[in-house]
């Protein structure tokens, strides 16, 4: 979800500190039988079922299946705030809501676009390890050729249970770090309104493709 850029590694270190600081100790209270791996397995079950019916469902059908799961499993306001960075504090509540809503739709539309068909892939949850900001759940997508692609999820726990706070492509490229670099550059050039407009254009592009089907 977004292309890595040269400053991603440095941004990732700063973001890791922000994630740790943002994690509320009270938000880590244990829930009965809560398991972050189970949350990811449920998400992958949805993706796999959507892939297997991908051509029949079309873009709009895949998006309709994935969006409610993304809204429930991803901590979209938290992710939008950290991806936006320091500029977030200067936004009014309406602007924050606009960014968070567009960000959530963008995540959903991206999954619907990328997980569009099935040719024998396996979506596997491989385990978990503790992190200063929560739990890292390690997963892999095994292509039909047998080539594995690592995708790790940083999950933290709150009143809604385990939710996704970041995604690491190839096990190391932080989605939020990449997007924070991009968002910061947009805010510097175009201001907050420019960031909202850019996010809306991205969403409009993907949802237009969604509406047109496969």
Q: Domain limits of the chain?
A: 33-212
Question: Residue 20: what pLDDT?
Answer: 46
From the list 161, 164, 179, 206, the residue with the least C-alpha distance to 15 is 179
- Burial (Cβ within 10 Å: 0-12, 13-18, ≥19) of residue 42: middle
Could you tell me the CA-to-CA distances from 65 to 57, 106, 112 in Å, in that order? 9, 14, 9
For position 11, what pLDDT does the model report? 41
pLDDT of 107 reads 92
Q: In whole angstroms, give the CA distance from residue 133 to residue 174.
A: 14
Dist CA 113 CA 96 (whole Å) = 26
Strands 122-131 and 134-142: antiparallel
Which segments of the chain have a pLDDT < 70? 1-34, 207-214
**End-to-end C-alpha distance for the chain, whole angstroms:** 20
150-156 long-range contacts (CB < 8 A, ≥24 apart) are 153/36, 153/40, 154/19, 155/36, 155/39, 155/40, 156/23, 156/27, 156/28, 156/75
Output the pTM of the full model: 0.79
**Tens of pLDDT, residues 28-87:** 333 333 689 999 999 999 999 999 999 998 888 898 999 999 999 999 999 999 999 988
CB burial of 147-164 (b: ≥16 within 10 Å; e: otherwise) equals eeeebbbbbbbbeeebbb
pLDDT at 5: 33
CATH 3.10.450.710 applies to domain 33-212: yes
Structure tokens belonging to residue 125? 């949850």
pLDDT at 197: 87
pLDDT of res. 29: 35
What pLDDT sits at residue 188? 87
203's tokens? 């969403």
């Amino acid at each position: 979800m977004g292309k890595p850029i040269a400053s991603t590694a440095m941004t990732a270190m700063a973001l890791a500190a922000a994630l740790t600081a943002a994690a509320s100790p009270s938000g880590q209270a244990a829930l009965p039988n809560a398991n972050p791996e189970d949350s990811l397995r449920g998400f992958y079950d949805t993706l796999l079922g959507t892939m297997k019916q991908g051509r029949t469902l079309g873009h709009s059908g895949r998006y309709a299946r994935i969006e409610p799961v993304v809204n429930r499993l991803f901590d979209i306001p938290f992710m939008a705030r950290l991806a936006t960075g320091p500029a977030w504090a200067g936004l009014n509540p309406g602007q924050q809501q606009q960014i968070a809503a567009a960000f959530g739709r963008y995540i959903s539309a991206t999954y619907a676009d990328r997980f569009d068909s099935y040719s024998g892939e396996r979506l596997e949850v491989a385990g978990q390890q503790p992190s200063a900001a929560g739990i890292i759940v390690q997963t892999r997508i095994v292509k039909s050729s047998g080539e594995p692609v690592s995708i790790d999820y940083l999950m933290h726990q709150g009143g809604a249970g385990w939710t996704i706070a970041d995604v690491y492509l190839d096990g190391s490229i932080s989605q939020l770090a990449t997007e924070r670099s991009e968002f910061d550059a947009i805010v510097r050039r175009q201001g907050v309104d420019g960031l909202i407009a850019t996010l809306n254009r991205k969403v409009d592009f993907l949802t237009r493709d969604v509406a047109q089907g496969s």
